Structure 1
Amino acid sequence: MTVPRAEADAADRRSLHERIAADLRDRILSGDLAPGAALPSTARLKERFDASNATIQKALQLLKDEQLVVGRPGAAVTAREHRQRTVRPAAFMAPATAGDPYRWLTENERNGLRGRVTLLEVAERVPPSDVAEALGLEASGTALLRHQLLTIDDEPAELVSSYYPMEIVSGTAMTERRKIPGGTPTFLAGLGYPPRLAVDRVSARIPTQEQHRALRLPGGLPVLRTLRVVFSDDDRPIEATVMVKAGHLYELQYEFAAG
């Protein structure tokens, strides 16, 4: 079915090649175009979207930059085995068993993936307003920031900024620029603050310059931003973490009991 140009322009301000890429991207990520399946021919796409050959090629180039399709001159453009991963946040919450690595690492290893955590910064900082509110900080109050980049199979996966109340972590190994054996949930539990409840707020945002660069994002695709607040006994907030990942590469899966 051909999409009338005037009707599409009235409803969507994006460039035509961005709109075409968005439609094809959705079919790939939803599984309608399985890995190895040929995309509609250039002729069919030109007819459907009332677009020029150059516009179709620009749309396909966006998908190639995102590593969602592959194509060579003279051959059909096909969907790649895309890298969208399902993340189950509940799998990483519990403290690791004594002597075991951080659960994020072991969960990836269980799925045949090689995870790595690179510590970028450890410092006392005034956190963003939503983080400060979550931790119950007063105006201009500070918290300990542990800023990390997570990679999977040497590709950037997530940019993580975790904040902790200074009255809990001051004078501990958390303030040192080194990794925490077993991860921070295990360390906090050892301090007498076991994680009991986590509340996630997930939003889609346009990436900042740092996020775009660190995650090596193609084009102007959005990121998924999760603000996770972790509570210990007596509903005390012990951690507020901002996690940012590429929106086209990840989906989040939450499980809820009925009733």
Structure 2
Amino acid sequence: MPEPHKDERPLSDRIAADLRKAIKRGDWEPGFRVPSNADLCEQYETSNVTIQRAIKILKDERFLEGQSGVGVFVRSTPAQTINPAHYIAPAEPGQPYRWLTEATKRNQSSKYKMLKVAEEVPPLEVRRVLHLAEGETAMLRSRIGFLDERPAELVHSYYPVELARGTRLADRRLIPGGSPKLLLDMGYPTRAQEDSVDARPATTEEYLALEIPRDVPVLDIFRVVYSDDEKPIEVTLLVKPSHRFKMGYRVEMP
């Protein structure tokens, strides 16, 4: 029989995990004053030094905020739930991409910054979806999305080259109304979207671009957009900082 799995992490890390869960689940609401070190020492039967280390971890991760001479409090802004279903439909004529209009509804400022547009050989998982042979290219559009002037997502979207060449998909400028509207106008309406969500440590690119604090993981979304006849017209690798965002899905019963 294998030995039972043990949690051999430092106690400060384990305490931080407990408190982090309380914050992310909403048990400790924004602005909640964290119990005193003495109370936490008693609760976890440990030393003040260990509690201080746990609190520092959560401060570094920006879950907690210290107020000099007052105490330590849960950050004022909770993790924001992003519902991908809100962005599937093409923008209305003359309107910007739905990611931007949805931000406006939440009283947030928003913008995208283009990083790169080029024909490149995509990662293997993208090639498989687009049915590309080894060495074949796709059109890549890379960008960073900002909410309230803070980086919110790093996006790498790939399109079949035969579909993208000679269109705004191959243009470094932002697309009026976003890619769903352009693809619709090109005769490729969105019929379905499929997401696969994972959590993992950030790469250096993601750590810098998204200003990831400490060792906070990122949400890694692999998204495929299908048009008529299950044709894949867009494959997106979307990364978001998990301390600021969580994904929300609603499934209707048939």
TM-score by length of 2: 0.93
Q: Which residue of 1 aligns with 2:143?
A: 148
Q: Which residue of 2 aligns with 1:7?
A: none
After TM superposition, the structure 1 stretch with the greater mean CA deviation from structure 2, 108-117 or 16-25, is 16-25
Q: Which residue of 1 aligns with 2:237?
A: 242
Pair 1:213-2:222 in alignment: no
Q: In the alignment, is the contact (CA less than 8 A) between 1:150 and 1:157 conserved in 2?
A: yes
Q: In the alignment, is the contact (CA less than 8 A) between 1:68 and 1:82 conserved in 2?
A: no
Q: Which residue of 2 aligns with 1:48?
A: 43
In structure 1, C-alpha distance between the alignment counterparts of 2:67 and 2:181, rounded to whole Å = 50
Q: Which residue of 1 aligns with 2:221?
A: 226
Q: Which residue of 1 aligns with 2:133?
A: 138
Q: Measure how far apart 1:246 and its partner are.
A: 0.9
| Paired-residue identity, % | 45
Pair 1:95-2:90 in alignment: yes
Structure 2: gaps spanning 5 or more residues: none
Q: Which residue of 1 aligns with 2:107?
A: 112
Q: In the alignment, is the contact (CA less than 8 A) between 2:24 and 2:78 conserved in 1?
A: no
In structure 1, C-alpha distance between the alignment counterparts of 2:127 and 2:44, rounded to whole Å = 47
Please point out which of 26, 30, 35 is paired with 2:30.
Answer: 35
Spell out the pairing of 1:164-203 with structure 2 (5 A cutoff): 164-203=159-198
SS at match of 1:112: coil
SS at match of 1:60: helix
Q: Measure how far apart 1:19 and its partner are.
A: 1.7
After TM superposition, the structure 1 stretch with the greater mean CA deviation from structure 2, 73-82 or 96-105, is 73-82
Q: How many residues align?
A: 250
In structure 1, C-alpha distance between the alignment counterparts of 2:249 and 2:44, rounded to whole Å = 36
Q: In the alignment, is the contact (CA less than 8 A) between 2:95 and 2:177 conserved in 1?
A: yes
SS at match of 1:257: coil
After TM superposition, the structure 1 stretch with the greater mean CA deviation from structure 2, 100-109 or 51-60, is 51-60
Q: Which residue of 2 aligns with 1:77?
A: 72
Q: Which residue of 2 aligns with 1:126?
A: 121
In structure 1, C-alpha distance between the alignment counterparts of 2:87 and 2:108, rounded to whole Å = 15
Q: Which amino acid aligns with 1:12?
A: D
Q: Measure how far apart 1:73 and its partner are.
A: 4.4
Q: In the alignment, is the contact (CA less than 8 A) between 1:29 and 1:82 conserved in 2?
A: no
Q: Which residue of 1 aligns with 2:13?
A: 18
RMSD of aligned Cα (Å):
1.5
Closer, same or farther: CA 73–54 of 1 in aligned 2, 3 Å: farther
In structure 2, C-alpha distance between the alignment counterparts of 1:11 and 1:137, rounded to whole Å = 44
Q: Which digits, 9 at most, give the CA deviation of each residue in 1:110-155, with x for residues without a partner?
A: 1101111000000111111111111111122210110000010000
Runs of 4+ residues deviating >4 angstroms: none
Q: Which amino acid aligns with 1:33?
A: W
Structure 1: gaps spanning 5 or more residues: 1-9
SS at match of 1:138: coil
